[in-house]
Amino acid sequence: MTDLERLFRRLVDNLIAIDPARLHRSMPLSDLYESVIPYRTNRRSLSIDTAEDYDFLLLRLCAGEGGFLRMLSPDVAERFRSESASPNPNLELIRAYADAELQLETERLAHALGPGPNEAFAPPEDIEFDALPPMPAPEADDADVISLETLRAARMAPDPVPIVPAPPRMTAEPDPDPPPRTESGLRCSFCGGRLPTGRSVNFCPHCGQNQAFTRCPECQSEIELGWRHCINCGHLVGEE
């Protein structure tokens, strides 16, 4: 990257940070060295040692060298071209034409706004590099051979989302003497496990949940003993 290319790219980057709309508008020359790319805050990034080197770079830029920008006044542009070609250029010309309008060239601006040199060779994001697993050796029965389409569908299928049951809602203290659950086919309203029959059941033998009250395992609505389906959502709560 040449000194002029580095200066122009720094100019574009600073304009994007300040006001991106100014990339496509004209501006006075004084804006460059006063607010957009002032020497004191950009000399390290531009690898410039002295203020004279900085002024000479600006002079070359305004003269149209490299085609990075153009002066809107043809007379001013010619004056800068003539001075930059001089063996002893007058660097004060930059301050003398501080109000001269300039504009960034569209083609150079599009190149500066494009991908960086390292990104230009980056592979497209939609290319998959993961290789399919090796195909299993075919068995005697062709029905046992896994097809390539089946493998690809299995790899592309999303992971199943685990279903977390809703926690039981807090209730009042359980009845110390609950009625016995003698009906056949009753199940725990929390885990669905079958409850013992012919005896009083206070807690589920499978999950340990309190059986003093019964709720639908699907919508948590209260249900009565002996019901086979929830009256709110229709969920099966007893054995058919």
Last residue of one domain, picked from the residues 60, 92, 113:
113
Q: What is the mean pLDDT of residues 197-215?
A: 77
- Which is more confident, 92 or 225? 92
Round to the nearest angstrom and report the end-to-end CA distance of the chain. Answer: 81
Residue 94 has what pLDDT? 92
Residue 119 has what pLDDT? 45
Residue 178, Cβ density class (10 Å: 0-12 exposed, 13-18 middle, ≥19 buried): middle
Q: Nearest 5°: CA angle at 50, between 49 and 54? A: 100
Dihedrals φ, ψ of 223, to 5°?
-130, 160
Q: What is the mean pLDDT of residues 14-25?
A: 92
Residue 212 has what pLDDT? 65
Helices and strands in the chain, H and E counts: 8, 3
Q: What is the mean pLDDT of residues 75-103?
A: 93
Residue 160 pLDDT grade (very low, low, confident, very high; cuts 50, 70, 90): low
Structure tokens at 123: 């592979």
Structure tokens at 104: 């960034």
The pTM for the full model equals 0.47
96 with 189, same domain? Answer: no
Is residue 72 within 8 A of residue 26, CB to CB? The reply is yes
Residue 189 has what pLDDT? 66
Last residue of one domain, picked from the residues 62, 78, 113:
113
72 vs 75: CA distance, rounded Å: 9
Of 221, 110, 117, which is closest to residue 166 (Cα–Cα)? Answer: 221
In a domain, 128, yes or no: no
Determine the structural domain holding residue 67 and report its residue range: 3-113
Last residue of one domain, picked from the residues 61, 93, 113:
113
In a domain, 189, yes or no: yes
Residue 51 has what pLDDT? 92
192 vs 182: CA distance, rounded Å: 17
- Three-state DSSP state, 18: helix
Residue 239 has what pLDDT? 58
8 with 91, same domain? Answer: yes
Is residue 216 within 8 A of residue 235, CB to CB? The reply is yes
- What digits encode the pLDDT tens for the residues 136-153? 555 544 444 445 566 566
How many domains would you assign to the chain?
Answer: 2
106 with 187, same domain? Answer: no
Q: Residue 233: how many CA atoms within 13 Å on its side-chain side?
A: 11
Residue 52 has what pLDDT? 92
pLDDT at residue 117 greater than cutoff 80: no
